[in-house]
Amino acid sequence: MKAHDGMYIRGEWRPAAGTGTIAVVNPADEQIIAEVPAGTAQDVDAAVRAARDAFPGWAATPPAERAARIAALRDAMVARKDEIAETVTAELGTPIGLSQVVHANLPISVAGSFAELAGTYAFEEKAGNSTVLLEPVGVVGAITPWNYPLHQIVAKVAPALAAGCTVVLKPAEDTPLVAQLFAECVHEAGLPAGVFNLVTGLGAVAGQALAAHEGVDLVSFTGSTAVGRQIGATAGAAVKRVALELGGKSANVILPSADLAKAVKVGVANVMSNSGQTCSAWTRMLVHTDQYDEAVELARAAVAKYAAGDPHDPASRLGPVVSAKQRERVRGYIDQGVAAGARLVAGGSEAPHPAGYYVAPTVFADVTPEMTIAQEEIFGPVISMLRYADEDDALRIANGTVYGLAGAVWAGDEAEAVAFARRMETGQVDINGGRFNPLAPFGGYKQSGVGRELGTHGLAEYLQTKSLQF
**Nearest approach, Cβ of 313 to ligand NAP (angstroms)?**
26
Distances (CA, A) of 252 to 107, 127, 210, 258, 290: 26, 42, 37, 12, 17
Residue of 39, 112, 138, 223 interacting with ligand NAP (CB under 6 A) = 223
- Identify residues 307-326 at the interface with ligand NAP (CB under 6 A): 326
Residue of 8, 114, 196, 379 interacting with ligand NAP (CB under 6 A) = 379
Residue 283 binds to ligand NAP (criterion: CB under 6 A) = no
Q: Which is nearer to ligand NAP, 379 or 388 (CB)?
A: 379
Q: Are 375 and 392 in contact (CB under 8 A)?
A: no
β-bridge mates for residue 386, sequence order: 286
The closest alpha carbon to 382, from 313, 289, 318, 312, belongs to 318
Q: Which is nearer to ligand NAP, 133 or 202 (CB)?
A: 202
**Nearest approach, Cβ of 353 to ligand NAP (angstroms)?**
20
Residue of 23, 101, 127, 204 interacting with ligand NAP (CB under 6 A) = 204
At residue 388, φ and ψ (nearest 5 deg) are -125, 155
Q: Which is nearer to ligand NAP, 203 or 256 (CB)?
A: 203
Q: Which is nearer to ligand NAP, 111 or 211 (CB)?
A: 211
**Nearest approach, Cβ of 307 to ligand NAP (angstroms)?**
24
Binding mask 112-151 for ligand NAP (x = CB under 6 A): -------------------------------xxxxx----
Residue of 99, 220, 222, 291 interacting with ligand NAP (CB under 6 A) = 222
Residue 202 binds to ligand NAP (criterion: CB under 6 A) = yes
HEC sequence for the chain: CCCCCEEEECCEEEECCCCCEEEEEECCCCEEEEEEECCCHHHHHHHHHHHHHHHHHHHCCCHHHHHHHHHHHHHHHHHCHHHHHHHHHHHHCCCHHHHHHHHHHHHHHHHHHHHHHHHHCCCEEEECCEEEEEEECCEEEEECCCCCHHHHHHHHHHHHHHHCCEEEEECCCCCHHHHHHHHHHHHHCCCCCCCEEECCCCHHHHHHHHHHCCCCCEEEEECCHHHHHHHHHHHHHCCCEEEEECCCCCEEEECCCCCHHHHHHHHHHHHHHHHHCCCCCCCEEEEEHHHHHHHHHHHHHHHCCCCECCCCCCCCCECCCCCHHHHHHHHHHHHHHHHCCCEEEECCCCCCCCCCCCCCCEEEECCCCCCHHHHCCCCCCEEEEEEECCHHHHHHHHCCCCCCCCEEEECCCHHHHHHHHHCCCCCCCEECCCCCCCCCCECCCHHHEECCECHHHHHHCCEEEEEEEC
**Nearest approach, Cβ of 466 to ligand NAP (angstroms)?**
30
Q: Choose, from 279, 377, 416, 461, the residue flagged as catalytic.
A: 279
Residue of 73, 227, 242, 398 interacting with ligand NAP (CB under 6 A) = 227
Q: Is 245 a catalytic residue?
A: yes
Residue 216 binds to ligand NAP (criterion: CB under 6 A) = no
Q: Which is nearer to ligand NAP, 220 or 291 (CB)?
A: 220
Residue 208 binds to ligand NAP (criterion: CB under 6 A) = yes
Nearest residue (beta carbon) to ligand NAP: 203
Binding mask 43-82 for ligand NAP (x = CB under 6 A): ----------------------------------------
Residue of 51, 161, 243, 279 interacting with ligand NAP (CB under 6 A) = 279
Q: Which is nearer to ligand NAP, 146 or 306 (CB)?
A: 146
Q: Are 5 and 167 in contact (CB under 8 A)?
A: no
Q: Choose, from 86, 245, 377, 416, the residue flagged as catalytic.
A: 245
Residue of 44, 71, 72, 211 interacting with ligand NAP (CB under 6 A) = 211
- Identify residues 157-186 at the interface with ligand NAP (CB under 6 A): 170, 172-174
Q: How many residues contact ligand NAP, by CB under 6 A?
A: 29
With CB under 6 A as the contact rule, which of the stretches 70-78, 87-95, 201-209, 304-312 interacts with ligand NAP?
A: 201-209
Residues carrying an active site annotation:
245, 279
Interacting residues with ligand NAP (CB under 6 A): 143-147, 170, 172-174, 202-204, 207-208, 211, 222-224, 227, 230-231, 245-247, 279, 326, 329, 377, 379
